[in-house]
Amino acid sequence: MSKLEKIVNEKISPVAQKISAQRHLRAIRDSFATIMTFLIIGSVFMIIANFPITGWEELQVKLFGEEFPQLIMTPVRVTFDFMAVYIAAAVAYNLSKRYNIDAFTVSLLSIASFILLIPFNANIELDGKMQVVPKVLQIGQWVGAKGLIVAILVGIFVAEVFNIFIKKNISIKMPPSVPEAVSKAFSALIPGFVIICITLIIRTIFASTSYGSLLEMIYSLVAMPAQAFIGNSVLGAIGLSVTSTLFWFLGINATSTLNGVVRPFWLQLQQQNIAAIQAGLQPPHILTEQFYDLIYMGGIGATLGACIILILKSKSKQYKQIGKISVIPGIFNINEPVMFGLPIVLNPIAFIPLLITPVVLILINYSAMYFGIVPKPNGIFLPWTTPPLIQGYLITGSIKGALLQLFDIIVVMGIWYPFLKVMDKKQCEIEMKEQEEDEDFDFKL
């Protein structure tokens, strides 16, 4: 056993197990695993819609009509763009199951409470002017990844309050002769009414503030501090990477949360690089958005390398299967299947390589470009689903960019391997125990 594996087994694993056993964290982790089906389905349609071939969208229009690109993105919108709603329900449901209370009713209350916190208006540009349109719930805004933090908090809040009322017997009791469905409905009346009232009060209070809503306040407090990390320096890049990793570890789509803040800064650098190339000069900037595209091969944490390790080295049937399912989306930089299927989200052991890997790649790639070994990003805009190697070639305009990404993948696999080996060993023990129990059960029968 290597020193690193020993440290992971003796120092990190015991702490990780205690953290993993915490009921709220387990409910959150299980919830993201629950919605993995939606994410995989959405990922397939996303790849179809954004396949990285020049003229792909024009070809779709030519073959299937002008409405086809929007049509093929509809499954993405009802999966990814409603993620917060699903999570609000799933967190409440999974936590309620641990409390042995009416999980279905609690999950519905959680959805209602979450939607109640969302402002029912939208800023829409009409005739060149921004207009506030009332009674509109925008797809992909607060109901999407942008609202995940509040969705998780709402799920926990609703389940906890409901549990208090039920355990304290503060509910309407019906005679035993009353059907179970009716009895559950009446027992949920008091806690449900209180939960909705509290949510309505919270909505009203925040509506009178400069934020306008609880969601806007939490989003601002989370996203805006990230500006302090943004700068055209390695330290800024590392800071952004660490922040993104922390968000993803909590199951929060850091791309949706942070990119709206940092993209204006990136665009300025990209435009300056393009202008320099057009003038026959070398691009002045390294840390454009495309630099981060080179880093995140397979998504945050460069998890494409982790998927390859799962396929090649896993002894666990479950882990090997997750690797096979996740590697194709990973090639197109979609990593939700492995993030929520393994899971990496809220997994303290996986958190270490998830955090370390992009930092190491930033240092490697920045150094390679700073010293002129690999050309700097040329400023071109690529679909984020462009596969690694192709991506490296196009972003740098050189085969050296593709070779750099190939080297990066090898580095990634080396970082992820010892941690996945520890996780795989534990999963194998679980699978063997389950198999023995099944065999023992069959023998008794």
Is the bond leading into 264 cis (omega within 30 degrees of zero)? no
How far is C-alpha 195 from the geometric centre of its chain's CA atoms?
A: 28
182 shares a domain with 240:
no
Average of per-residue pLDDT across 39-47: 72
Domain end: 177, 194, 222, which one? 222
| 440: in domain | yes
Q: Which domain holds residue 205?
A: 35-222
285 shares a domain with 203:
no
298 shares a domain with 209:
no
The percentage of residues in the chain with a pLDDT greater than 70, rounded to a whole number, is 80
Report the domain count for the chain: 2
DSSP 377: P
| 181: in domain | yes
* Cα 44 from Cα 32, distance rounded (Å): 18
The per-residue pLDDT for range 169-203, each reduced to its tens digit, is: 887 877 776 777 777 788 888 999 999 999 999 99
Beta bridge partners of 126: 129
The dihedrals phi and psi of 129, each to the nearest 5 degrees, come to -125, 145
Residue 127 has a CB neighbour count (10 Å cut-off) of 5
pTM exceeding the 0.75 threshold for the entire prediction: no
Query: Tell me, what's the pLDDT at 290?
Result: 83
| 99: in domain | yes
Q: What is the mean pLDDT of the chain?
A: 81
215 shares a domain with 235:
no
* pLDDT of 226 above 50: no
The per-residue pLDDT for range 141-153, each reduced to its tens digit, is: 788 777 878 888 9
* Cα 263 from Cα 227, distance rounded (Å): 11
Smallest CA-to-CA distance from 337 within 301, 292, 294, 307 is with 307
The per-residue pLDDT for range 210-219, each reduced to its tens digit, is: 888 888 888 7
Query: Tell me, what's the pLDDT at 260?
Result: 46
- The angle, 0 to 180 degrees and rounded to 10, between the axes of the packed helices 214-223 and 148-167 is 130
169 shares a domain with 132:
yes
Per the CB < 8 A criterion, the answer to whether 196 and 113 are in contact is yes
* pLDDT of 376 above 70: yes
**The dihedral formed by the CA atoms of 141, 142, 146 and 150, expressed in degrees to the nearest 10:** 180
Query: Tell me, what's the pLDDT at 17?
Result: 62
| 265: in domain | yes
312 shares a domain with 383:
yes
The dihedrals phi and psi of 177, each to the nearest 5 degrees, come to -75, -20
330 shares a domain with 290:
yes
277 shares a domain with 160:
no
| 30: in domain | no
User: How many angstroms separate the most distant Cα atoms in the chain?
Assistant: 85
310 shares a domain with 196:
no
422 shares a domain with 291:
yes
320 shares a domain with 190:
no
* Cα 402 from Cα 56, distance rounded (Å): 22
189 shares a domain with 128:
yes
* Cα 343 from Cα 351, distance rounded (Å): 10
Beta bridge partners of 133: 122
Average of per-residue pLDDT across 90-110: 92
Domain end: 169, 199, 222, which one? 222
Smallest CA-to-CA distance from 79 within 46, 109, 117 is with 46
* pLDDT of 110 above 70: yes
Query: Tell me, what's the pLDDT at 338?
Result: 86
